[in-house]
Amino acid sequence: MSINNRELYNQFIPIDDRSIKDKKTGDVYTGIFLHEQLNAKYSFTFTEYLPHYVKIAWNLEQLNNEEQLEQRYPFLYKLIKRRLRFLTTFIEHSEEKITSRLAKKEGNYYFFASSRYLASKHFSSYNTWNRNISIFCTLGLMNKIKIQNHNRTMDRRATRELKALAKRMNIDNHEKLSPINFYTIPIYNDELLMEANRRANVLLDNNFRANGFSKFFLIKVFGKEFADSIFHDERYISEYSKHTQTQIEKFILKDIQRHGYTTKDRILRYVQINYSQLQPWEYGFKKEKQSKKSILSREFDRSISEIKEKYNLEYRKADKKLKERFHLNTSKTIIYENPFDVIKNE
């Protein structure tokens, strides 16, 4: 592709599968005359690839303008600012992994990507890439899709990529690796970014922590149907998860009754849990690698919002008034009864 073509791509915003908009003039080129209109004005031939290349340039432009992101979409920016490099790398990666110029879903080209491949080629670990991709999908910045009736070309290319990855990792059988997932990337217009900002706000209100982010967390926040669209597996909120949350709840209520407040640190130190019900796939790690503290920490992070609402509790860093109320020497983060609820009961 020529440099001139790339400059032209940067000039247009894709509106949908059959129309694009000139960023400078606001002119919209649509329908069956799109090719002729562009060719007459710019001596340029429209191709099937144009929308995705334009989209890449436009999306990266929005992400690189961090000042605008923070100002217009504050919750979204807060959640992704430390993950922007992963998102921009993934978007750039999509350009070379499109399966076919005819492979589209809702007007967006789909492509394949492997978290293990990205981890081996770029930075950070497989688990970090996997988690960040799921977070981006949750926000709607990318979509993980199920391709019905894979064609042979797609299957061959995906298998070839998986074999190459297995070879680089010194794995003798590529089938030991998880299958490569397929994705689409939407255009980052104001409507999409506003929705991503709304979802980010919901996640933050529900005590989003990367440590506690999982399918179980999404089920609790957005429901099972939404969680299934992000995690294409049969995981559910297990009996062990319920057991652990119940033990945390019991301790919180007893500790508040004794001391007026409790902390996450005390929960990790004193709550007892039974390992016998732990499933091998629980929390995304092998069963033998789990520790009491790590299990409680993850379950606390993904359950505290539900526990707060259930028992009318607050969970926040102690200010001057709270330090005086509970005779605290430091501004630790504490869990305590909602003061308005206490006053009402008195």
pTM for the full model? 0.65
Q: How confident is the prediction along the chain (346 residues), in pLDDT tens digits per residue? A: 333 455 666 677 666 556 677 777 887 776 555 556 666 666 655 444 456 767 787 888 889 999 999 999 999 999 999 999 999 999 988 877 665 554 555 556 667 777 777 887 877 787 889 889 999 999 999 998 765 555 565 666 666 666 665 666 566 665 555 566 788 888 888 889 999 999 999 999 888 888 778 887 888 889 888 988 888 765 566 777 788 889 999 999 999 999 999 999 999 999 988 766 665 545 444 444 567 888 888 888 878 888 988 899 999 999 999 999 999 998 899 999 976 554 444 4
Distances (CA, A) of 168 to 24, 126, 144: 45, 14, 25
Check residue 346 and give its pLDDT. 42
Check residue 311 and give its pLDDT. 92
Tokens of residue 337, six digits: 């009864």
233 in Cβ contact with 178 (< 8 Å): no
Distance CA 289, CA 195 (A): 37
14 in Cβ contact with 187 (< 8 Å): yes
Check residue 251 and give its pLDDT. 95
DSSP sequence for 270-334: H----GGG--TTGGGS-GGG--HHHHHHHHHHHHHHHHHHHHTEEEEE--HHHHHHHT-SS--EE
